Amino acid sequence: MAKTLYEKVWDDHIVVATEGEAPIIYVDRHLVHEVTSPQAFSGLQVAGRKMRAPEKTFATMDHNTSTTSASLDALSIMARTQVQTLERNCKEFGVRLYDIHHKNQGIVHVIGPELGITLPGTVIVCGDSHTATHGAFGALAFGIGTSEVEHVMATQTLRQLKAKTMKIEVRGHAADGITAKDIVLAIIGKIGMDGGTGYVVEFCGAAIESLTMEGRMTVCNMAIEMGAKAGMIAPDATTAEYLKGREFSPKGDNWDQAVAAWEELKTDTDAVFDATVTLEAANIAPQLTWGTNPGQVVAIDQLVPNPIDASNPTVRSSIEKALAYVDLSAGTLMTDVDINKVFIGSCTNSRIEDLRAAAVHAKGRQVAQGVTAIVVPGSGLVKEQAEAEGLDKIFLDAGFEWRLPGCSMCLAMNDDKLEAGDRCASTSNRNFEGRQGRGSRTHLVSPAMAAAAAIAGHFVDIRKPY
Amino acid sequence: MQPFIAHTGLAVIIDSANIDTDQIIPKQFLSKVTRDGFGIHLFHDWRYLDDAGDQPNPDFSLNKPRYKGASVLVSQENFGCGSSREHAPWALADFGFKAIIAPSFADIFYGNSINNGLLPVKLTAAEVDQLIAEIEAQPGAEVNVDLQALTVTSPSGAVFSFQIAGSARHNLLNGLDAIGLTLAQSEAITTYEASLPAWRV
């Protein structure tokens, strides 16, 4: 029977399928961080259970670490306790840990791929919803809760129900300056923040295939922002090229066997999806969110929507509530919206390509008066690479701050947070109320759009001189 | 896990769509290393006027005297979207909720709730709207949720049916420990592991 990419990976991972029960599927790699793991480790301890495969588990510290100091003293008492608890647990259970002093430390969804932990055709889970990122490699990767983290630790498996399948095809080629972030925001704008609920989405089409691995990760990262269980992109030569020679990638004969296996990982031509969505890449302009969820998005040359145009009362009330929170009026041109904070970073957009794209706009210019802009590389390796290319100097000369790796202002668990009333151009993934700080407003954009907004002090259409 | 068989309790309404887990439990409360004590911070930014949580917001439904002691939460579509933080169902359960009723839920939140014995109930949008109207009209209104019968009974006695995966229902009704059940399949896992190609080991 013809199968989709998801169905192939799913079928490959079934350990036990009993009638009337959720199938048990195997987990190849488990990524762990400090915030969602302590209760799982303690659950094992209380029950006297061992970890089944600590060698398939990789831990890092990212959510609440400081981006100004690689010292535990820079953390609040509770954050420090959480970080130290992870250290203790990893030692006790024999889990590899990239702590804040390690050169490989970074955002869990940045380091997994760059260390070659993320491989096509594997199942990867993490107690973090943006685990969807790893689907860019043709892995089935999804976020789980802490009870499931404990289940994986104890059994290296999960009990999961099979999701429905959705194909999202982005046809043709995007215009110059249109990035993966614009593509995925346009998709979410089209299907809504819950349009993917219950589905595993496969992204395909020429505009997806022509993306680099960094771009593909940006797209899959935000699969969760359309409600999808996971996002996947079929592996190809770009995928293999990216993975070859990385620390945990297969080597020698294993590499050849892996590449041969990955070549089978594509949706069969006559496979049937439960739902199909199609976009034309040429129609995608730079995107930005105006409201309080990632589906509330417009193109840079569009206006803030009017609630009276809403399709139903629930949507109307959501728009009204969002407009009140973000303090924008219907009909405002997005290029007229001033910002005072800029965040370039997060598991969505903190990889080398993202920093290069931002640096193009920062180079030789100055951050606008009254604007604070921070750049937070996704990992120690990204930071090192950026510094080797002189990007740090470009940012610093332009008045941006150059920080240490971590999740930072994406969720604002550390000191990097917005104040009430702040308006931020952010390359992160969620613009929920209070996400970056109580009473603050977040507009999601690409790295280029964020850097340009920092220079101009308001959103600009990067396709034109500004 | 405590079994969930049926529950009757005071129902409270939060009549908004897309309530995300950042609202249910904001990030500043995620630094604990235990599962308990999150209820006091539930819906913090909506529930309190100040950052310290000393000044309740009188306009927020959970603070209204008529809803004190509520154990059933009725809300709108896509409840629990966003972050995978299990702190969200921990906070809801710690506050005293036993069941959440909405037209739809985000996938991760839905699974996390079941794993904590907090029952997520999907009704149609029209049924949720009727439930909300009845609860609003009748202070003290109680709602019954019956996992054996797979029904919700409104304050006026209207009965709505709902569906849930058979495996989830079985585990909830019996308060089963999923890890214990899977550990009983260790042999199958070992067999599966032995079949892995070298590059995936």
Using one digit for the tens of pLDDT, what is the confidence trace for B36-49?
999 999 999 999 99
**Residues near A315 by Cβ (< 8 Å), separated by ≥ 6?**
none
In B, which residues are within 8 Å of A129 by CB distance?
A: 82-84, 108
Three-state SS at A142 = strand
CB pairs under 8 A between A and B: 191
Distance of alpha carbon B177 from alpha carbon B136, whole angstroms:
37
Share of chain B above pLDDT 70, in %: 100
Rounded mean pLDDT for each run of 10 residues along chain A, 466 residues in total: 97 95 96 98 96 98 96 94 97 97 97 98 98 98 98 98 98 96 98 98 98 98 98 98 98 98 98 98 98 98 96 90 98 98 98 98 98 98 98 98 97 96 98 97 98 98 95
| Chain A nearest C-alpha distance from B68 (Å) | 25
Question: Would you call A286 an interface residue with chain B, using a CB distance cutoff of 8 Å?
Answer: no
Write out the DSSP string of A103-132: TT-B-HHHHHHHTT---TT-EEEESSGGGG
Nearest CA-CA distance, residue B131 and chain A, Å? 16
Choose the closest CB to B167 out of A20, A163, A253: A20
Contact A161 B30 (CB under 8 A): no
Of the candidates B115, B165, B168, the beta carbon closest to that of A148 is on B115
**B67 inside domain:** yes
CB contact under 8 A, A430 and B26: no
**Alpha-carbon distance A318 to A296, whole Å?**
10
Q: Could you tell me if residue B50 is inside a domain?
A: yes
Determine which helix (DSSP H) or strand (DSSP E) holds A38, and give its type and residue range. Answer: helix A38-47
CA-closest candidate to residue A451, choices A364, A328, A389, A327: A364
Residue contact B106–A154, C-beta within 8 A:
no
Q: Is A165 on the interface with B (CB under 8 A)?
A: no
**Per-residue confidence (pLDDT) for residue B177, from 0 to 100:** 85
What are A392's two structure tokens? 């740090």
B81, A193: Cβ pair inside 8 Å? Answer: yes
**Nearest CB to A194: which of B32, B77, B111?**
B77
Query: What mean pLDDT, rounded, does chain B reach?
Result: 97
Please give, rounded to a whole number of angstroms, the shortest distance from the CA of A258 to a CA of chain B. Answer: 6
State the CATH number of the domain containing residue B183: 3.20.19.10
Whether B22 sits inside 8 A of A52 (CB atoms) is no
SS3 content of chain A, % helix, strand, coil (to 5): 40, 15, 45
Does B1 fall in a domain? no
Q: Angle of helix B107-114 relative to helix B166-174, nearest 10 degrees?
A: 30
**Residues of B with Cβ-Cβ distance to A314 under 8 angstroms:** 17, 76-77, 125
Token pair recorded at residue A451 = 């850097």
Nearest by CB to residue B179, choosing from A131, A150, A255, is A150
> Which residues on A lie below 8 Å from B53 (Cβ)?
none
The answer to whether residues B183 and A155 touch, using CB atoms and an 8 Å cutoff, is: yes
Query: Is there a domain that residue B36 lies in?
Result: yes
The tokens 């990867």 sit on which residue?
A124
Query: Across the interface, do B16 and A156 touch by the CB < 8 Å criterion?
Result: no
Chain B contact present for A26, CB below 8 A: yes
Measure in Å the smallest separation between the Cα of B97 and chain A Cα atoms.
19
A293 and B107: CB-CB below 8 Å? Answer: no
Give yes or no for residue B152 having a pLDDT over 90: yes
Contact B63, B115 (CB under 8 A): no
A35 touches chain B (CB under 8 A): yes
Whether residue B173 contacts residue B148, with contact meaning beta carbons closer than 8 Å, is answered with yes
- Interchain CB distance below 8 Å, B189 and A155: yes
> Which residues in chain A have Cβ-Cβ distances shorter than 8 Å to B1?
none
For residue A155, give how far its alpha carbon lies from the nearest alpha carbon of chain B (Å). 6
Among candidates B81, B179, B199 on the partner chain, residue whose Cβ is nearest the Cβ of A254: B199
Q: Do A268 and A170 contact (CB within 8 A), yes or no?
A: no
pLDDT at A20: 85
Determine contact: A428 vs chain B, CB below 8 A. Answer: no
Residue-wise over A94-107: b if at least 16 C-beta within 10 A, else e? Answer: ebbbbbbeeebbbb
Which chain A residue shows the shortest CA-CA distance from B110?
A145
Q: Which domains does chain A have, with CATH numbers?
A: 5-159 (3.30.499.10), 164-236+257-283 (3.40.1060.10), 287-456 (3.30.499.10)
The verdict on a CB contact (< 8 Å) between B199 and A21 is no
This complex has an ipTM of: 0.96
Q: Decide if A84 touches B, using CB distance below 8 A.
A: no
Query: Does A275 contact B at CB distance below 8 Å?
Result: no
Q: For residues A134 and A118, what is the distance between their CA atoms, to the nearest angstrom? A: 6
At residue A433, φ and ψ (nearest 5 deg) are: -50, 125
When divided into structural domains, chain B yields a total of: 1
Containing structural domain, residue B92: 6-200
Q: What is the pLDDT of residue A311?
A: 87
Chosen for mutation from A92, A314, A321, A442 (greatest number of chain B CBs closer than 10 Å) is A314
* Closest CA of chain A from B86, distance in Å: 5
